[in-house]
Amino acid sequence: MNLKRTLISIFSLAFSLLLISCTDKQDLATITPSETSSMEHGLIIMESPFSFEETGSRIRTTLEERGLLIPADLNHQQNAAGVDMNLRPTRTIIFGNPNLGTPLMQCSQSIAIDLPQKILIWEDEPGNVQIAYNDPGYLKNRHRAQGCDQAFETVANALANLMESALSE
């Protein structure tokens, strides 16, 4: 049974890699967030036009301007250096708004494991700055939330607006 699961996982990974390798960056620009998230296991991933530091600063400033709570801002590269390990620039900003998160938890309490929201910022091997966050539609399915479409749509729109605001030139 474990061998079967392993083979299925390997096949799925290989197929995903094949699909990704056949897609150039211009094609990725035409993919909608829901398509991207299904390819990336529930993550909406986008490339920032700014440096790692500026991207993090712009996102944090946008969160603060909107009055969102920021309980943590983790510098993973610095933490890795603290244990004598190397890591490309990587940062996770944890943030939330009880007015948006509470209705999601009222719909399905297990979603609390994925809240507050997180934005991951990292510099990939070629030096491009990437941003990722959980796709609310994926979370809705993951937590089997029923009858809360509007609450999840509100969160999805808020996150998209936040990213657009933080990354606009």
Has residue 14 been placed in a domain? no
Nearest to 159 by CA among 141, 138, 139, 135: 135
Has residue 112 been placed in a domain? yes
pTM of the model: 0.76
pLDDT at 41: 84
Has residue 70 been placed in a domain? yes
Has residue 87 been placed in a domain? yes
Q: Is 69 helix (H, G, I), strand (E, B) or coil?
A: strand
- Residue segments in the chain with a per-residue pLDDT below the cut of 50: 1, 5-39
Has residue 12 been placed in a domain? no
How many C-beta atoms lie closer than 10 Å to residue 167's C-beta?
Answer: 18
| Number of domain units in the chain | 1
pLDDT tens, residue by residue, 5-17: 444 444 444 334 3
Has residue 10 been placed in a domain? no
DSSP string, 89-119: SEEEEEEE-HHHHHHHHHH-GGGGGG-SEEE
pLDDT at 2: 52
Return the CATH number at 126.
3.30.310.70
Has residue 17 been placed in a domain? no
The vertex-117 CA angle with 112 and 123, nearest 5°, equals 140
Range of the domain at 36: 24-167
Has residue 103 been placed in a domain? yes
